[in-house]
Amino acid sequence: MLTQAHSPIAAPKSHSSLPDCLMLPTGETPGVLPESAGRRESSVMSSGYESAGRAPWRENSAMSSGYESGEVQMCHTVYPWHSNHLGELSAGQLLTWIDITACLAAERHAGVACVTASVDDIQIEETARVGQHICIKAKVNRAFNTSMEVGIKVSVEDPLMNIQRHVCTAFSTYVAKPAGGKKVILKPVRLQSAQDHLEYSLAAERRRIRLYHEDAYNNLMEDGCAFYDLDWENDSNKISTDSTCVESIELVLPPHANHQGNTFGGQIMAWMETVADISASRLCHAHAILKSVDMFKFRGPSTVGDRLVFRAIVNNTFQKSVEVGVRVEAYNCEEWTAGRSRHINSAFLIYQALDNKGEQIMFPRVKANSKDHIRRFCGAIARRKIRVARKYILSSKPEKPISHPWDKGNQTYLSYNNIAALTVLAAKSGWELNSTIQNIKIFTHDENDVLSIKVEMHVKVHPRQAYLLLSDLGLRPNWDIHYLSCEVIETAGEDDKIFYITCPPVKQSKSSDFITLMSRRIPYKTGDPYVIAMRSVTLASYPPSAEYLRGEVQCAGFLIYSQGKDSCQVCYLNQLTSGIIPYVEENLTGWSNSIEDTACACIRFLETAKVYTTLL
């Protein structure tokens, strides 16, 4: 069930030390960061100076590549004092190093001091152990007048095995902090490589998403009633999050200040991660592992002498993950006595936990029995929807072709694979409810960088009639506005046909077309569903044309379950590809209800259709 999209999703994040302003653009200033006092620590930093007048050996050498391109690199050996109880690099230390490196990259470009306005979500894919090396690279992707986006890539190297693995990627927005108070108009970024041009273009889209994040979040919160889950309501094992409340206080001392005199943003993030980790661990009674950062938002400055109060609590659980919210309030001496606080930071962090076999723990459902709990509970669901949408909409990973050539020799295999893939997709565990309206439920499944959607519809019609109507894709334009036309172009039997489908443009200027194999099967025994499976194939007689953008369907279709003589449950599934994402983007981000609208149209069509099928 294709659905329309074109608006943004967003999820801004914030971190770092900052000025008296909120989060805006960035600037930077070349600076030298001292080594940690009294600690044996390997740290190599390549920050930037202008190439003019530098030693000739820098030119055309391997060592000059980062320097010439404006890249800042920081390398550390992970020592025991950087690690947690498992001997792995602590998340707080990683966030500290990321903040330092990104700030130096921003300051190199701006030529003045910079503060962090926001940090986009960080997905931590790998851990580093004591004795391994961490390499952090940061570079300004694009400057927007007074702000700039810095891209950060973190990798881990094992000196014994001579291998390097990706740890995480992050994007920070920085604002220049000039000495005189005037805004600094940043110079444009010099683009040298194809990757530079790609990141430059994507930076504009990420900025648009950050700016619209609040609107997207509010839109989803307005539809908070759609988050209602009957299974959650009936679960008698839900637990209260009151026991996960954590409060901690820190006194900002001179070693906690950055080179601008404010409390170092990386230190604040490390303290926030500590209380969030404790909160998550209280829920699962195991050591929690930070997997992603949804948002670090710096709302105001803090200085030496401030008392910082950190409060963390679990907002919601999502089967194998949990969201923890953290709030930071600052007090100077007078404010501390008077009880007047300054809200300076907020963050939402996502944790997982492992059992003694190394398997991910399933988190229990949590109660939402007060107005504040319900707000945080629904807010976590809205943020998760935005995270999932952002992850796939902004993905720049190249997608391998998924269409197989169709010929008489492999049609049996392709048909079998078509049916089997849909059946396996439907049977997967981990589907998460996204919204509920009347007789419709919408679920998402995010696993191994593959996003799938499932739509359950309760229809008052005989299941065989629904089967005949839905398997005739030629009828689909009657209820799905995203189908312009659909015609049979190859027949491999009564139950296997190839359709040529055209769809309207969404963001792109051209319409899309698909070559799709439809395989349908009736139940083998009572209780089995009717199956209608679809996947893309290639036909030599229908090559891609300049008129259309050729899209691909990985796995999609319907499972129809009987619920009585004249009632059935229609379950639509789609494993999303880059060709399908634009049609669901707006719905995933909270800007439209196009999936729900299409499902309603499908139900009306099935319950009122005057024809069974055109395929007979």
- The residue from 366, 391, 416 where one domain ends is 391
| Structural contact between residues 469 and 475, judged by C-beta atoms closer than 8 angstroms | yes
Residues 317-348 pLDDT 10s = 988 899 999 999 999 999 998 989 999 999 89
Report pLDDT for 613.
60
Report pLDDT for 227.
55
Kindly state whether residues 179 and 310 are assigned to the same domain: yes
pLDDT at 282 over 50: yes
Here the CATH number for the domain that contains residue 234 is 3.10.129.10
Q: Within 111-249, where are the H helices?
A: 194-222, 230-234
Report pLDDT for 594.
83
* 478 within some domain: yes
Here the CATH number for the domain that contains residue 491 is 3.30.530.20
Residues 9-49 pLDDT 10s = 333 333 333 333 323 333 333 333 333 333 334 444 343 33
pLDDT at 463 over 80: yes
Q: What is the pTM of this model?
A: 0.67
Q: Which residue has the tokens 């926001």?
A: 118
Kindly state whether residues 384 and 411 are assigned to the same domain: no
pLDDT at 527 over 60: yes
Collapsed DSSP state (helix, strand, coil) of residue 14: coil
Do strands 432-437 and 440-447 pair parallel, antiparallel, or not at all (unpaired)?
antiparallel
Kindly state whether residues 444 and 521 are assigned to the same domain: yes
How many other C-beta atoms can be found within 10 angstroms of the C-beta atom of residue 498? 21
- The residue from 369, 391, 413 where one domain ends is 391
Q: In a 10 Å sphere around its CB, with 0-12 CB exposed, 13-18 middle and 19+ buried, how is residue 180 labelled?
A: exposed
Kindly state whether residues 386 and 432 are assigned to the same domain: no
Average pLDDT (351-374) is: 86
Kindly state whether residues 483 and 368 are assigned to the same domain: no
Kindly state whether residues 324 and 449 are assigned to the same domain: no
- The residue from 360, 391, 422 where one domain ends is 391
Kindly state whether residues 535 and 386 are assigned to the same domain: no
Report pLDDT for 457.
95
CA dihedral (299, 303, 308, 312) positive or negative: positive
Out of 111-120, 185-194, 282-291, 332-341, least confident range: 111-120
CA angle 267, 272, 275 (to 5 degrees): 130
Kindly state whether residues 350 and 204 are assigned to the same domain: yes
Say which residue, 62 or 215, is predicted with more confidence: 215
CA dihedral (415, 422, 455, 550) positive or negative: negative
Residues 476-495 pLDDT 10s = 999 999 899 999 999 888 89
Q: Which residue has the tokens 């999609």?
A: 556
Report pLDDT for 153.
95
Average pLDDT (539-557) is: 91
Kindly state whether residues 107 and 67 are assigned to the same domain: yes
Q: How confident is residue 461, by pLDDT bands cut at 50, 70 and 90? A: very high
Residues 108-160 pLDDT 10s = 999 888 888 888 778 899 999 999 999 999 999 999 988 899 999 999 999 99
Report pLDDT for 472.
92
Rounded-to-integer distance, Cα 178 and Cα 71, Å? 22
Kindly state whether residues 132 and 277 are assigned to the same domain: yes
| Structural contact between residues 79 and 252, judged by C-beta atoms closer than 8 angstroms | no
Say which residue, 386 or 286, is predicted with more confidence: 286
pLDDT at 541 over 70: yes
Please choose, from the candidates 139, 67, 138, 143, the residue with its C-alpha nearest in 3D space to the C-alpha of residue 98. 138
* 113 within some domain: yes
The percentage of residues in the chain with a pLDDT greater than 70, rounded to a whole number, is: 81
Residues 401-413 pLDDT 10s = 778 888 776 788 8
Rounded-to-integer distance, Cα 433 and Cα 572, Å? 14
* 171 within some domain: yes
Q: How many domains does the chain have?
A: 2
Kindly state whether residues 283 and 372 are assigned to the same domain: yes
Report pLDDT for 229.
60
* 7 within some domain: no
CA count, 13 A, side-chain hemisphere, 241: 27
CA count, 13 A, side-chain hemisphere, 144: 19
pLDDT at 611 over 90: no
* 23 within some domain: no
Do strands 404-405 and 530-538 pair parallel, antiparallel, or not at all (unpaired)?
parallel
Can you name the residues that pair with 535 across neighbouring β-strands? 517
Q: Domain residues for 498?
A: 404-608
How many other C-beta atoms can be found within 10 angstroms of the C-beta atom of residue 412? 12
| Structural contact between residues 523 and 493, judged by C-beta atoms closer than 8 angstroms | no
Q: CA dihedral in degrees (290, 195, 546, 519; nearest 10)?
A: -30
* 410 within some domain: yes
Distances (CA, A) of 599 to 81, 438, 476, 594: 55, 11, 12, 8
Q: What is the mean pLDDT of the chain?
A: 81
* 4 within some domain: no
Kindly state whether residues 484 and 578 are assigned to the same domain: yes
pLDDT at 286 over 80: yes
Tokens linked to 33 = 């960061």
* 398 within some domain: no
pLDDT at 223 over 90: no
pLDDT at 395 over 90: no
pLDDT at 537 over 90: yes
Residues 86-99 pLDDT 10s = 899 999 999 999 99
Report pLDDT for 168.
93
Residues 426-459 pLDDT 10s = 999 888 888 888 889 999 888 877 889 999 999 9
